[in-house]
Chains A and B, each alone.
Chain A
Amino acid sequence: MITMVRVDNRLIHGQVVSAWIPHLKVEQILVADDEAATSTLMKAAMVMAVPPALDVAIERPQDVDWPGVARSTRRVLVLVRDVAGAERILASGLAPGEVNLGNVHFGEGRKPVSPSVFLSEQELEALQRIASRGIEVTARAVPTDAKVSLEELKVRHRSAR
Chain B
Amino acid sequence: MVGVVIAAHGNYADALVATAAGIVGPLDQVVAVNLLPYEGLDLGRQKIADAVRSVDGGDGVLLLADMFGGTPCNCCLSLIEEGRLEVVTGVSLPMLLKLPTARAEALGLRETAQALLQVGQKNVLLASDLLRARCQAARG
Contact = CB atoms under 8 A, between A and B. Distances in A.
A32 to B, nearest CB: 15
Contact of A112 (B38, B71, B74): B38
B128 interface: no
A11 B70 CA distance: 10
B138 to A, nearest CB: 40
Contact of A105 (B9, B40, B78): B40
A161 B67 CA distance: 34
B18 interface: no
B80 interface: yes
A88 to B, nearest CB: 18
Interface in A106-137: 106, 112, 115-118
Interface residues of A, number: 26
B129 interface: no
Contact of B41 (A10, A17, A44, A141): A10
Nearest to B45: A42
A12 B81 CA distance: 21
Contacts of B43: 105
Interface of A: 9-14, 17, 39, 41-42, 44-46, 48-50, 81, 103, 105-106, 112, 115-118, 141
Q: 10 closest pairs, A vs B, by CB?
A: A49-B69, A9-B40, A45-B77, A105-B40, A14-B70, A116-B37, A13-B71, A10-B71, A45-B74, A41-B78
Given A10-B44, A44-B77, 13 more contacts: A9-B41, A13-B74, A14-B67, A14-B71, A17-B69, A48-B69, A103-B37, A105-B39, A105-B40, A115-B37, A115-B38, A117-B38, A141-B37
